[in-house]
């Protein structure tokens, strides 16, 4: 069995290495096109054009590598960062050969990483509890930023609120509570008294209440784009109402079933609430990196640090 596992690890390493090589080769082609554009720019010497070309290639290459490593399963942020650093080094080794022919010494290194954690569950029939089934639990504590927070819930799983009843007061409906240690933002989700709508009630840090609803059997509640089932409900945008750091809590997670995706800045330790394979999960990712780019010839020394953001979030 150990030999089979070793072969599997070798295959994964080879696949990752091949992905890096393909990214690097694509960027060499892009660099040629980019050079053709720069060659038409007046007042820029050949060394300056080459340095700009190398810088552009390093940034584009790093962005591609971030997408590559984020798309793979990693046991920890440390492993992910190590693979990304190795990818930048390998890209530089490949791209640097082209510039060496032009008499230039190049170097691109990873100098800083901004971690993110991807939290969620994909089973639309599972309650929004932690792994042990606890209905009230902390999803993420004191994270600097929320990049995405989105829930897709079924109407049939939500608490049916009789006319004249306030489930905020009774505590009978699913709630998302976000606070920064000073102010608190709350979302309550339930079935409308008519039984036909999914209704969400938002209480902002000042105590103002907003209600949005949609006639649907399932609906996506987007807390970073401020929409309910794709329709604008600006009060849902928690990041507009509240500054970080954020602590995100689920209340009465047993009163809602569905899937959700959260992406937050920082490292959320795996514990009783999370598992990398089970639901809910917490998986490491990279939000941004800083790359140090150096380009040197006999007549030019160019060095800069550039922050490279990952591409948009899918799904």
What pLDDT score was predicted for residue 129?
A: 95
Nearest to 50 by CA among 250, 300, 247: 300
Structure tokens, 208:
């103002």
Say whether pTM exceeds 0.85: no
In tens, the pLDDT along 43-77 reads 446 888 999 999 999 999 999 999 988 888 777 89
Start-to-end CA span in the chain (Å):
36
Signed CA dihedral, 224, 228, 233, 238: sign only: negative
Phi, psi of 55, rounded to the nearest 5 degrees: -60, -50
CATH topology of domain 123-278: Jelly Rolls (2.60.120)
Q: Which residue reads 């795996």 in tokens?
A: 270
Query: Sorting pLDDT into bands at 50, 70 and 90, what band is 272?
Result: low
The domain limits of the chain are: 2-116+287-309, 123-278
Backbone angles phi, psi at 263, to 5 degrees: -130, 120
Residue 162 has pLDDT above 70, yes or no: no
Q: Over 201-246, what HEC string results?
A: EEECCCCCEEEEEEECCEEEEECCCCEECCEECHHHCHHHHCCCCE
If one compares 27 and 38, the residue with the highest pLDDT of the two is 27
C-alpha dist (Å) from residue 205 to 39, 111, 184, 209, 264? 55, 38, 5, 10, 21
What gap in Å lies between CA 131 and CA 158, rounded to an integer? 20
Poorest-confidence range of 91-95, 153-157, 180-184, 203-207? 91-95
Instruction: Determine the pLDDT at residue 42.
Output: 41
């Amino acid at each position: 069995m150990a030999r089979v596992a070793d072969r599997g690890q070798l295959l994964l390493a080879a696949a990752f290495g091949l992905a890096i090589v393909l990214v690097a080769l694509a960027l060499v082609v892009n660099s040629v096109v980019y050079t053709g554009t720069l060659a038409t720019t007046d007042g820029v010497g050949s060394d300056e054009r080459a340095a700009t070309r190398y810088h552009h290639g390093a940034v584009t290459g790093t962005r591609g590598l971030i997408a590559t490593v984020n798309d793979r399963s990693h046991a920890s942020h440390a492993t992910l960062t190590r693979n990304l650093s190795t990818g930048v080094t390998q890209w530089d080794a490949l791209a640097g050969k082209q510039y060496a022919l032009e008499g230039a010494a190049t170097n691109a290194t990873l100098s800083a990483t901004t971690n993110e954690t991807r939290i969620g569950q994909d089973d639309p029939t599972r309650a929004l509890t932690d792994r042990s089934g606890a209905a009230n639990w902390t999803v993420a504590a004191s994270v600097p930023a929320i990049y995405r927070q989105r829930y897709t819930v079924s109407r049939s799983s939500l608490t049916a609120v009789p006319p004249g009843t306030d489930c905020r007061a009774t505590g009978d409906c699913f709630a998302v509570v976000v606070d920064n240690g000073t102010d608190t933002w709350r979302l309550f989700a339930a079935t409308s008294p008519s039984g036909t709508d999914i209704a969400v009630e938002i209480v902002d840090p000042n105590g103002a209440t907003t209600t949005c609803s949609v006639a649907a059997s399932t609906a996506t509640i987007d807390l970073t784009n401020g929409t309910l089932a794709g329709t604008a409900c600006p009060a849902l945008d928690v990041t507009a109402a509240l500054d970080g750091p954020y602590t995100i809590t689920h209340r009465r997670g047993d009163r809602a079933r569905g899937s959700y995706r959260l992406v937050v800045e920082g490292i959320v330790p795996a514990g009783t609430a999370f598992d990398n394979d089970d639901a809910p999960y917490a998986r490491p990712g990279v939000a941004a990196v800083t790359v140090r780019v150096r380009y040197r010839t006999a007549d030019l020394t160019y060095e800069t640090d550039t922050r490279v953001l990952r591409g948009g979030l899918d799904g």
